[in-house]
Copies of this chain bind each other. A is one copy, B any other.
């Protein structure tokens, strides 16, 4: 199955996001080898050129390096990796704040709400 190409983003950007998340989560660790362009293309049922573009862009972004004839690897630079993680976190935060603002909940209230939530979850309480 085409591993879900729905969300109205260019496919190559979706591929990038996919790898960004995998790397940020540590599923693809520092220095790990990415699947080949061809493999990824088959797995995602996408044209190899599209995957190629995504890989190039990831290299430009900096968290992937390509060694000719060998393949693509997650960077070894821990600064880049934590930077990636921070960027994703930042995006997540902004999305969250935007959503809550749409419901009329100000950023100033969020810290308290989260603390409250964390407390409830931590104690396994339901109410």
Contact A107 B121 (CB under 8 A): yes
- Residue interface mask A85-111, B partner, CB < 8 A = 1: 100111011111101101111011011
Count of identical protomers in the assembly: 4
Distance in Å: Cβ of A60 to nearest Cβ of chain B: 8
A42 on the interface (CB 8 Å rule)? no
Task: Judge whether A92 and B88 touch: CB under 8 Å.
Answer: no
Q: How large is the interface on A (under 10, 10 to 19, 20 to 34, 35 or more residues)?
A: 35 or more
What is the bound-complex CA distance between A93 and B110, given in angstroms? 9
Interface hit among A20-28, A29-37, A68-76: A20-28
- Interface digits, A31-73 against B, CB 8 Å rule (1 contact, 0 not)? 0000000000000000000000000000010000000000000
Residues of A within 8 A of B (CB): 4, 6-8, 21, 24-26, 60, 85, 88-90, 92-97, 99-100, 102-105, 107-108, 110-115, 117-118, 121-122, 127
A sample of 5 inter-chain contacts (CB < 8 A) reads A24-B103, A89-B105, A96-B96, A110-B114, A111-B112
